[in-house]
Amino acid sequence: MVKQETWTTDEFGASHTGSVGVLLADGTVPKPAYIMMTEHGAGLTTAQWTVYDGHSRLAPRAHALRAVCSCGWSGPEHPLDWGQIGEQRLGEAAAEPADTCEQEWDQHTVEVEKSAVALPEDLAEVLQGLGEAIEKLAQNSP
C-alpha cells in the first residue's frame, strides 16, 4: 500500500480523491519511494510529495507540484525554485504551492458538482426499493 496524504468529499468519495502530485524535470511522474525503517529492510512505500527533495537516491528531486485527482484531472504545474528552497525541508519550503494545489482541487470538485446530473426522482425511488428488497432478502436468507 502506498502512503500519501489525500483529500476527499462526502459527495464523490473515492471517485474524486485528490492529492499533491509531483512532476520531475522531464515532465514525468516519479515512482513511489520506498523508505526503509529498519536495517532488515522493513519500511513503507510513499508517494507523499514531501519526500521528493532529491536528498535520497530513493526519491528524486521534484521539479513542480500540481493537484491531481483519481478521476484523471490534474491542475497546472507549480515549479519549485530549488535555489530559493536550498536545504530547507520541502514540506516547509513548498507549503504555499501545496496549499494552492488543494485549493485548485477544491475548485475541480465544485466544477464536477456543477456538471453532475441529478438522478430523476422515479429512478431514485426504484433504486431505494431495490436496496430495501435486498436488505429484506439478506435478513431472511443465509
pTM of the predicted structure, to 2 decimals: 0.77
72, 108 in Cβ contact below 8 A? no
44, 45, 47, 53: CA torsion to nearest 10: 70
The residues pairing with 35 across neighbouring beta strands, listed in sequence order, are 44
The residues pairing with 34 across neighbouring beta strands, listed in sequence order, are 45
Residue whose C-alpha cell reads 507549503 in the numeric block: 95
Where do the structural domains in the chain lie, given as residue ranges? 2-140
**pLDDT tens-digit series, residues 71-125:** 999 999 999 999 999 989 999 999 999 999 999 999 999 999 888 777 788 887 8
